[in-house]
Structure 1
Amino acid sequence: MDIIIAGLEGLNLWWWLGLAAVLLIAELLTGTTYILWPAAAAFVTALISSFTGWPVELAVFAILGVGFLIAGDRWLKPRLKSGADSGLNSRATYLVGESVTVVGGFSEGRGRVRHGDTEWSAKTEDGSDLAEGAKAIVAALDGTRLVLKAV
């Protein structure tokens, strides 16, 4: 029993930071976000370890670990998953509102436009035809096709 208490009395800032680092590495390897919360709790516990003793440190770590886990799983994880619609790795979503130039005449409301150095398949909102060289604004996306609004 004395060995356990002696070990607990050895808890300090560096021990808690080391635990936080090990947990963060484990989180990187798993990618589940469940190990992230105890790592955050270990980091916060490291910040207060200079002011308290080991019983308070363990209590703070346990309370924060469970609290961060519940809060993160309930509020942060759904927001991280909804970030899939953020437009990351999808250049076309950033084109909404941008001006494009028609490179080939439209037929039946469909044609090709140029934005920068890239050509895109496009269609008009109202099905009208645009002449070559005309300017238009990207109003929306329909799959990989730009939906245009005439200027």
Structure 2
Amino acid sequence: MLNFLQHLTFWDWLALGTLLLILEVFGAGGYLLWIGVAAAGVGIITYVIPALPWALQFVLFAVLSVLSAVLWWRRQRNAGKISDQPGLNDRGSELLGRQFALHEAISSGRGKIKAGDTLWLVSGPDLPVGSAVRVTGQNGVLLLVEPIK
């Protein structure tokens, strides 16, 4: 075993990196991706510096594995920043506080309003068609309304 370690070549590292990347394809959830990239990186370094001792190759592999995983983790953590358009995928939130006339009467707690060119399902107290209502909340695609007095 020691003989094998003392004669590691860049092909060995590239093979390990390829194997890890193939295993990643089968659903490792990203864990093997960065270790495989690190192994390929050590393979490239070993190609450039073929006389690199095997112990240093393993240290490089460990450092590159941790470094690449930490950098990716930090990038992913920062990717969840607050959007400059917070209501982009929440169309009903832009209607909160606005007033509308009922397009269909609220009967048994359900009715409809027309906002722009869209009919919205609303929930509130029973009211006749044309009554003025204010949007007070949202529950999925259902808008919560109250009558305007």
TM-score between the two structures when normalised by the length of structure 2: 0.49
TM-score between the two structures when normalised by the length of structure 1: 0.48
Q: Which of 1 and 2 has greater Rg?
A: 2
